[in-house]
Copies of this chain bind each other. A is one copy, B any other.
Amino acid sequence: VSVTTVNTLYPRLPTISDVARVAGVSTMTVSRTLNNHPSVRAQTRDDVMRAVDILGYRRNENARSLRPGHQTGLIGVGITNIANPYYAEFVLGVEDIASQHGRRVILATTAGDLGREEQVVSDFLGRQVEGLILVPSGDTASHVRPGRLRGVPLVFASRTVDGVATDSVVVDDEGGAYSGARHLLEAGHTAIGYLGAPDTSFTGARRLRGFLRALSDVGIVPESHLIRRGLRTVEEAKTATLDLLSTSRPTALFCSNNRNVVGALKALTARSRTGGYDDSALEIVSFDDFELSDLIPYRATIINHEARRLGQASAQMLFQRILSPDSGQPARTVSMPTWLEPRGTSLGVAP
């Protein structure tokens, strides 16, 4: 009785020796068959495969990876928030390359919290991942110092961390923001509202720097009430935009990311519904593309870059380390280019 009960509670999966027993051979013969070892008689092989089929046997990858030299085939990916379509695309890029190398992605979200990130890294290492790709949460990261990782390669994506010398793939934030701002200036705008992420955010700081440099290059000192930073969510961006428009009359808006432009557009929509505000001349520049950016009802330009490519590039850097761990190359930082794309009504009438 007790055996049956235990089996129901913990349904023990069939092991290699169960297969061996059913097939009437030794475990080694099963192992060789499963690994396509040439020296197995065809008849024996058939017996084994039949037993495998009967039992529904599957090799235990965890036990397998316990053996020296064997790897787990796992790549740990830690992102801040999968609900942001940008990181969803990013993960897809990583998965793309990982599956090409026969690896599986294990995913965790850190919610931008340093403590959770530390747990996640620790968990990943405990699961013997072959490599880590991380969108770091903050600019301190002692848990991720190369020494603590014991040789497991790490790639930072989207941001880097001061004092941690490791491979990273980032977007050309400053250059992109510079050219986006430049675009507005050349169109004659001088009163440009800025909606930005917190300065503590790596990309936020870099994009702001590019924006300000473009203004300073043409001798414009931005008025402080036009510069809104510290915006983390769509909702915050919406509120900030409403507040900005209630006190100022910018002729253009520069949105430092995906979330901010969505919030800004929601604010503009809400505001135009209340009437009394003619924003038809407003022009928008935004970092990051998003779905339906075609439909922006303003002159608009996107500073575009592809999350999926960022993911692919990160994974490719990681696999360079994984596949030749002895190369001893110094840490590299790759900057992914951006480009401007007209959107919204700035497209004008197509032919």
Q: Which of chain B's residues has its CB closest to A63's CB?
A: B66
Are the C-beta atoms of B107 and A107 separated by less than 8 Å? yes
Cβ contacts under 8 Å, A270 to chain B: 350
Q: A69-B10, A292-B262, A295-B295 are in contact. Are A274 and B89 (CB under 8 A)?
A: no
Are the C-beta atoms of A269 and B291 separated by less than 8 Å? no
For the complex, what is the distance from the CA of A123 to the CA of B8, rounded to whole Å?
A: 23
Cβ contacts under 8 Å, A348 to chain B: 273
Interface residues as binary, A145-162 with B (CB distance below 8 Å gives 1, 0 otherwise) = 001101110000000000
The answer to whether the Cβ of A82 comes within 8 Å of any Cβ in the partner chain is yes
The answer to whether the Cβ of A220 comes within 8 Å of any Cβ in the partner chain is no
Q: A291-B290, A326-B8, A350-B273 are in contact. Are A109 and B92 (CB under 8 A)?
A: yes
Among A42-50, A52-60, A200-208, the one that faces the other chain is A52-60
Q: Which of chain B's residues has its CB closest to A55's CB?
A: B150
The answer to whether the Cβ of A212 comes within 8 Å of any Cβ in the partner chain is no
Cβ contacts under 8 Å, A63 to chain B: 62, 66
Set B127, B150, B292: member contacting A62, Cβ < 8 A:
B127
A237 to chain B, nearest CB (A): 13
Are the C-beta atoms of B68 and A65 separated by less than 8 Å? no
Cβ contacts under 8 Å, A308 to chain B: 83
Are the C-beta atoms of B295 and A265 separated by less than 8 Å? yes
Are the C-beta atoms of B72 and A83 separated by less than 8 Å? no
Set B123, B266, B326, B349: member contacting A9, Cβ < 8 A:
B326
Q: A62-B66, A349-B273 are in contact. Are A291 and B104 (CB under 8 A)?
A: no
A260 to chain B, nearest CB (A): 13
The answer to whether the Cβ of A25 comes within 8 Å of any Cβ in the partner chain is no
Which residues of A (254-271) have their CB < 8 Å from a CB of B? 262, 265-266, 269-270
Set B10, B152, B274: member contacting A68, Cβ < 8 A:
B10
For the complex, what is the distance from the CA of A59 to the CA of B124, rounded to whole Å?
A: 11
Are the C-beta atoms of A104 and B106 separated by less than 8 Å? yes
Q: Which of chain B's residues has its CB closest to A8's CB?
A: B326
Q: A265-B292, A266-B294 are in contact. Are A104 and B123 (CB under 8 A)?
A: yes
Are the C-beta atoms of B109 and A108 separated by less than 8 Å? no
Are the C-beta atoms of B109 and A95 separated by less than 8 Å? yes
Are the C-beta atoms of B275 and A295 separated by less than 8 Å? no
What are 27 A-B residue pairs whose CB atoms fall within 8 Å in the complex?
A: A10-B68, A10-B325, A11-B152, A12-B68, A13-B128, A56-B150, A58-B125, A60-B66, A61-B126, A62-B62, A62-B66, A62-B127, A62-B128, A81-B92, A95-B107, A95-B109, A104-B106, A104-B123, A104-B127, A105-B108, A107-B107, A265-B292, A265-B295, A266-B292, A266-B294, A291-B292, A292-B292
- List residues of A whose CB falls within 8 A of some B CB: 5, 8-14, 56, 58-63, 65-66, 68-69, 72, 74, 81-83, 85, 88-89, 91-92, 95, 104-109, 122-123, 125-128, 147-148, 150-152, 262, 265-266, 269-270, 273-275, 290-292, 294-297, 308, 325-326, 347-350
